[in-house]
Amino acid sequence: MDFTVALAQIKPKLGCVADNLALIEEAVERGIREQAGLVVFPELALTGYFLKDLVPEVARPLYAPEIRRLADLSRHIGIAVGFVEVSDDHHFYNAAIYLEEGEIRRHHRKVYLPTYGLFDEQRYLASGDRFRAFDSRLGRMGLLICEDMWHLSAPYILAMDGATTLICLSSSPGRGITEADTFASTASWQRLTSATAMFLNSRVLYCNRVGYEDGVNFWGGSEIIDPSGALTVRGKILEEDFVIGGVSEESLRRERISSPMMRDENLFITLKELKRIGKERNR
């Protein structure tokens, strides 16, 4: 299916759920005005990123009024948004939901919580335990949250599960400054989104935030990558933006004819070898 995607490259306020909800609603309304089929937000758009001990205060259950409000708006447009989810057994997750037609189509809990360098997620959050593709009005999709995408198996599982659109919600800090035009972290991400799309013959919708938290910048540069790995459109670096681009069924079809790697991918060899490795590790 052909559709228009909006990537809302916003600047959330740290720990201010009401303010961020207003920011998100405003962007959703803009997406509706621009006739986008889907609007994607960054990781933790509803809360901000370096939450630390704020996690329990800003967490919301799936049935919270804020989520209900966004679900209502999804009668007009698909919405992928990140927030802190609290489960009924009081665990906190870095989560993303895909909303459409007033309902939660898919709910993903970030599996890979970075806890190194400037990251400290595992101290405050619980990990998710699955990657599952899902059907939406716009085709079969998969949700990834930031670090998830750095684990080859995550987008691979989603693509093997039939996803042709991979949505990645991100809060990526800019770091590593050299003579190059971009941060080292920006260059790595751009290689990653392109290579992932190319390997899996799938489009990648990447939404990264901007702004500063305690001196750490988030670099933006949200982008749509087509299934050949080529860039369709990219947002501004270090500035707020509302990136709009088209996604076409034809480009997916052509890519899957010319480079049918996903057709030829042998799930059973992969499974067999992974099982063997699992068994050997358990010995």
Interacting residues toward other proteins by CB under 8 A: 13-16, 50-54, 174, 177-183, 211-215, 217, 237-238
Least CB distance to other proteins at residue 198 (A):
27
Least CB distance to other proteins at residue 122 (A):
14
C-beta closer to other proteins: residue 178 or 266: 178
Q: What is the 3-state secondary structure (H, E, C) of 171-219?
A: CCECCCCCCCCCCHHHHHHHHHHHHHHHHHCCEEEEEECEEEECCEEEE
C-beta closer to other proteins: residue 65 or 215: 215
Least CB distance to other proteins at residue 50 (A):
5
Cα–Cα dist 109/53, whole Å: 19
C-beta closer to other proteins: residue 11 or 203: 11
C-beta closer to other proteins: residue 22 or 180: 180
Least CB distance to other proteins at residue 21 (A):
15
Closest CA to 218 of 45, 83, 85: 45
- Paired residues of 166 in beta bridges: 142, 204
C-beta closer to other proteins: residue 126 or 167: 126
Least CB distance to other proteins at residue 217 (A):
6
Write phi, then psi, for 186 (nearest 5 degrees). -65, -45
C-beta closer to other proteins: residue 180 or 274: 180
How is residue 218 written in tokens?
């988030």
Q: What is the 3-state secondary structure (H, E, C) of 29-67?
A: HHHHHCCCCEEECCCCCCCCCCCHHHHHHHCECCCCHHH
Least CB distance to other proteins at residue 241 (A):
14
CA 16 from centroid of its chain's CA atoms: 21
Look-up of token digits 């949700």:
143
